[in-house]
Structure 1
């Protein structure tokens, strides 16, 4: 039986032009090409495809990176079809020089990298988690570069960028700050900033920013601000976004934390 269940969208994440989640049964993709890098993981089943006149496969712990403008096809190598998750990355995200290397070696058996790609898929649709998605993407891209022997970062991490990024985040606790903006202001590669910050403080820039927003939210609550306005005034996307992180950090909901008699409105 031929069938397909597909979910595709354009995320609010610079460098990603499309996300695709699909369950394909019986459909065979003809030879075609994309103008973007195709970063693919297969959750169930297996995909057989041809790239540059060589037969390839995608399945299990393999991470697949198909280069832009290079034709390929694809069909199921298992009777029940396959489930796949795909990021289509803008051409400029990876160097043009990597195209040849990706044609020669489009797959990597790296469970750690696969876990990171899957983690990015989990957060990319969550409103208010843009900084976490940006950090995860920067890490994935850097690992893809290193995969083909072209690391963008020096091996030794400087501590100073971590503190400069922390100060910048403190200036934007409510308004927020994208990783790209931070990189432009501080003149460091995004992945370097994330790695330096995480090494120095034991948490990602996103986790730090969320913790500071929770800290601000609790101050607003104990001073008597109505709960319905606390989320926006402390930088959260909406009330559920605040509640999720408030409970994760403090173990109770904002309502349970509030002084008795505090109105919701």
Structure 2
């Protein structure tokens, strides 16, 4: 008796990704088929054997597989226990069709840094409200894939990069409550999204999404201590919903917004009188 695959598929609200697909496959054998998007595959358990352009390849749990659009391929498990995979289907805004031939020649990438970035991208895609994080991670993944295929390294100017980083910080500071997409920031500053993420992270030791979240949490602390309810604070500080707010607040401070608010003394000490204040 054949086991039904355990699958989860969705289309995130993020330009550049056509579909996200997570699956545990035991008995199913994929016939030859094609996609009109790039297939970015990581295997978490087991091994996949597939044919691409009449050549056989294997997808292992420590490798990254990139299958180009319009080129037929199939897939099957190597072991009886099947395999578990996570796939992101990228559209042509992330990788140009001119790179298809290079991907056919080298669909398997042995790059632990890239694999970790893809893993973190999947995690951010599963959390509503973390669109800037997902957008930032997608930009870095796409750039590293492009560099692999083209074998090039972008030249960098330390002085200009520092200036760009501070300009992006100013932009985030001005709009951290309403938020700003990485694409909008890129168009405003006339800098490629991946380059923005890289230079900002190098300058400040954190990604743009982490910086924006930290600014929101910092404002939330002030509002909570002023007596605003956590439910209202979530909306006032730009978080997607209460759950999104709670998750990031606790990740930053190690406690929930409610407990943080209740930690204030019931009768706080009065502010010291100014020497010029009337007695």
TM-score (norm 2): 0.89
Give yes or no for the alignment of 1:253 onto 2:264: no
Following TM superposition, by how much is the alpha carbon of 1:45 offset from its aligned partner in structure 2, in angstroms? 1.1
Residue pair 1:145, 1:152 contacting (<8 A) in 2 also: no
Determine the structure 1 residue equivalent to 2:122. 121
Give yes or no for the alignment of 1:82 onto 2:61: no
Determine the structure 2 residue equivalent to 1:101. 102
Separation in 1 of the partners of 2:266 and 2:43? 52
Matches within 5 A, 1:129-208: 129-151=130-152, 153-157=154-158, 158-208=161-211
Separation in 2 of the partners of 1:221 and 1:255? 8
Residue pair 1:35, 1:91 contacting (<8 A) in 2 also: no
Moved more, 149-158 or 165-174: 149-158
Moved more, 121-130 or 34-43: 121-130
Which consecutive segments of 4 or more residues in structure 1 shift more than 6 A? none
Residue pair 1:174, 1:235 contacting (<8 A) in 2 also: yes
Determine the structure 1 residue equivalent to 2:68. 67
Following TM superposition, by how much is the alpha carbon of 1:126 offset from its aligned partner in structure 2, in angstroms? 0.3
Following TM superposition, by how much is the alpha carbon of 1:261 offset from its aligned partner in structure 2, in angstroms? 5.8
Separation in 2 of the partners of 1:15 and 1:44? 27
Aligned length: 262
Equivalent position SS for 1:159:
helix
Matches within 5 A, 1:213-252: 213-252=216-255
Moved more, 135-144 or 155-164: 155-164
Separation in 1 of the partners of 2:229 and 2:153? 47
The C-alpha deviation readout for 1:208-232, integer Å capped at 9, x for no partner, is: 0000001111111122222220010
The C-alpha deviation readout for 1:74-99, integer Å capped at 9, x for no partner, is: 11111111111100001231122211
Q: 1:200 to 1:139 in 2, by over 3 A?
A: same
Separation in 1 of the partners of 2:77 and 2:65? 15
TM-score (norm 1): 0.94
Residue pair 1:68, 1:91 contacting (<8 A) in 2 also: no
Query: Which protein shows a greater Rg?
Result: 2
Moved more, 6-15 or 220-229: 220-229
Residue pair 1:153, 1:192 contacting (<8 A) in 2 also: no
Residue pair 1:142, 1:152 contacting (<8 A) in 2 also: no
Moved more, 197-206 or 222-231: 222-231
Separation in 1 of the partners of 2:117 and 2:145? 11
Give the RMSD, CA atoms, in angstroms: 1.6
Residue pair 1:123, 1:132 contacting (<8 A) in 2 also: yes
